[in-house]
Structure 1
């Protein structure tokens, strides 16, 4: 089902002062849930993400990355150092339900749009702020960039095999989780506001978000005498899990194996060498030996051959798809996960939809990303008529 009815956040006004990925991704999710989101940008270039290219692709003069994160929004341009523009911005804030910003610590205070200032103008405002490492401490002035945060957080040491250097994720995971955590905090404060009538101040940092993502393995580390995780030397996928956990090359592709009995796996694959490891404790202590046996054995036949043996026995396994194979699969088509957006100039972009379903309905929006200041005149007339 597509969206035909009332979205949960319809009637709410969100001001997005953020740049790059983390803050704008939070504003995007609120827009998908029905809020009206107005992006506030500098007149001279706007959000720096407009020129942040993840490929050579661009759309209507801006990067496709910008379009993917800033669809379903309006844009006003304002020089936050200009007193007249600040009057306009104050009028907007006084009418807003949510404000999001991710300036470096100290910048927003100098502009005069920090929470303690704006809550006097609008006590019902829910104010969301993302920093790189928090507002205090020796790292507070560092640039809040995803790769740098992954590196400082220890995350990169979990990836790759034991003989490899630290391996970062191929995605901006710190940014995306920080944006998701900010949305959680904002929604919680909006629920509280419905009871108390008062807004709130939500703070999220990239570092805290990516530490939270690691809560399972960090908890193990902190309660195991400070022992560091040991990456497998063979097909590592989780430093704390024993064999067979990992991805293995087959005769024509790859096979992912999750948790499961090594003895049962040996029986299902007709691999007699594995049946010797009958004690579950050995699945970790002899992890690399078991994985080496599996690596050699699985290469002798195709992925589909192995899956046909494992899936009927409910052994957890999966093919390893690239995007071409995924997007052509019936399982992907069944999700109806893509949509096309169109901006004011008619430029079209195929992208993903909101992954949330409300009352069984999918949340689509055909509205593309705005040009810098595209809606300034219209919105200024709304909040400062005449």
Structure 2
């Protein structure tokens, strides 16, 4: 492997997570070269495996699973069996980072909590991702992305004043919250361990992480003792910074906040004099209505042509296909290919990380459940007859 493209080569991770937050975090780590082994239930497979659309009819796998679990190996293992403890004990000789996503206490009941695994490997880095954290009044409460956004305060000012909070096209708390913060914390723990050989238990609450995303408006609210409101803040619709519908029912994104950009924008729509209305707080709603009327007179292509090469922070709202085929995404190598176990090829979203101008372009798609059982067990010292016994008992199949 190319070290430039795989700076985390040498990190070995046991991944006990499912669905999106944990698997997305380990995908990022695997994209950067870490070796990730997924520990999956043989009787309760990850629901993401069955999420349509399904690709590769010979070895059916969902497009989402094939992407989010690429470059990972899969060991199907019934954690409730006594034999599983010995398998995990042996794996910990090499895999010294653990990521789990159960509710607090579940891994302890199974015998794989932090203290239990630390007794086997003192320098283990153990990351727990939950909705509400390992402590606090809601630690056992079920939840999803929408619930964490609600509890964090973010949803209260994300949307429209007439219709209320609105859903995002992506899972903000799961990915921008849980996944990314988990990766940062794990890499920080790796750096600390390099200095003093110590392990650590990382507690990632997706609600905590979402709350931390209240960066600007939250900082203001804590000082002013005044909550941010729907369409009342600078960046949530309270200014002319917004989306505007075009004549062909597309949208134009206007982010022309700074004076030089605002001047270029208003000149572009034929009303340079409107620059004087930007600082008039009581004029913002009317200004936005006036801008809407102008933008609605031309289609998206016409506006794109007008602002092409015009440094005004104005861009077309592209659908996903348009974005994927755009020159920007193509030149940034944000699309890649991944191969399934029988050679089927699928296009995927590439890693955003680029080291020394290099980025991987081909990957291994998410593995079938338990695909690496035999190879993994052999690697940690099990003899063929022992593997057959374990498999026949349903421990790893």
Whole-Å separation in 1 of the counterparts to 2:374 and 2:66:
22
Aligned residues of 1:15 and 1:96 also touching (Cα < 8 A): yes
Over residues 65-122 of structure 1, what are the superposed CA-to-partner deviations in whole Å (9 max), with x where a residue is unaligned?
A: 2222111111111111111122111111232121110111110111121111111211
CA contact (8 A) 2:265 2:314 kept: no
Where structure 1 has 5 or more consecutive residues not aligned to the other structure, the ranges are none
**Is the contact between residue 37 and residue 72 of structure 2 (CA under 8 Å) also seen in structure 1?**
yes
Match for residue 231 of structure 2?
A: 231
Residue of structure 2 equivalent to 1:64? 63
Q: 1:12 to 1:154 in 2, by over 3 A?
A: same
2:293 to 285, 291, 296: 296
How far the C-alpha of 1:242 sits from its partner, in A, is: 4.5
CA shift for structure 1 position 265: 4.1
Q: Could you say if the C-alpha distance between residues 265 and 26 of structure 1 is closer, same or farther in structure 2, counting changes exceeding 3 Å? A: closer
Q: Give TM-score scaled by structure 1 length.
A: 0.89
> Aligned in 2, Cα 1:310/1:47: closer, same or farther, shift over 3 Å?
closer
- How is 1:164-183 mapped onto 2 (pairs within 5 angstroms)? 164-177=163-176, 178-183=178-183
- 1:210 counterpart residue number: 210
Asked whether the 8 Å contact 1:97–1:124 carries over to 2, the reply is yes
Contact 2:329–2:335 (CA under 8 A) maintained in structure 1: no
Give the Å deviation of 1:269.
Answer: 2.5
Cα distance 1:302–1:3, how it changes in 2: closer, same or farther (>3 A)? farther
Q: CA deviation at 1:304?
A: 4.5
Q: Structure 2: which 5+ residue stretches go unaligned?
A: 384-397
Name the CA shift for 1:4/1:108 in 2 (closer, same or farther; >3 Å).
closer
**TM-aligned CA distance change 1:158 to 1:344, over 3 Å:** same
SS of aligned partner of 1:358: coil
Change (3 A) 1:339 1:275: closer
SS in 1 for 2:363: coil
Query: How much does 1:296 deviate?
Result: 0.7
Q: CA RMSD in A?
A: 2.4
C-alpha separation between the residues in 2 aligned to 1:385 and 1:126?
A: 26
- The equivalent residue for 2:78 is 79
Alignment of 1:358 onto 2:355: yes
Distance in 2 separating the partners of 1:312 and 1:63:
40
1:245 positional shift: 0.3
Number of matched residues? 376
After TM superposition, give the deviation of residue 184 of structure 1 in Å.
Answer: 0.6
Superposed CA offset, 1:261-311 (max 9, x none)? 45664444222772552xx541x4322111001111222234444455556
| Residue 255 of structure 1: how far off its partner (Å) | 1.5
Quote the offset at 1:127 in angstroms.
1.1
Tell me, yes or no, if the aligned pair for 2:246 and 2:299 is still in contact at 8 Å: yes
Deviations 1:302-340 (A, max 9, x none): 444445555655222111111232233222221121112
Within 1, Cα distance between the matches of 2:90 and 2:145?
Answer: 34
Q: Name the SS for the 2:43 alignment partner.
A: coil
Distance 1:197 1:292 in 2: 61
**Residues 181, 209 of structure 1: 8 Å contact kept:** yes
Tell me, in whole angstroms, the C-alpha distance in 2 between the residues paired with 1:275 and 1:336: 38
CA distance in 2, matches of 1:214, 1:312: 33
d(CA) in 1 for partners of 2:43 and 2:128? 23
1:306 to 1:63, Cα distance in 2 relative to 1, 3 A:
closer
2:373 matched residue in structure 1:
376
Is the 1:244–1:260 Cα contact (8 Å) retained in structure 2? Answer: no
Query: What are the within-5 Å matches in structure 2 for residues 1-386 of structure 1?
Result: 7-51=6-50, 53=51, 55-59=52-56, 60-177=59-176, 178-231=178-231, 238-239=235-236, 242-252=238-248, 253-258=250-255, 259-261=257-259, 265-271=265-271, 274=274, 277=277, 280-282=278-280, 284-310=281-307, 314-386=311-383
| Cα offset, 1:249, TM superposition | 1.6
Judging changes above 3 Å, is the alpha-carbon distance between structure 1 residues 363 and 213 closer, same or farther for their aligned structure 2 residues?
farther
Further displaced range: 305-314 or 204-213: 305-314
Taking structure 1 as reference, are residues 311 and 190 closer, same or farther at Cα in structure 2, changes over 3 Å only? same
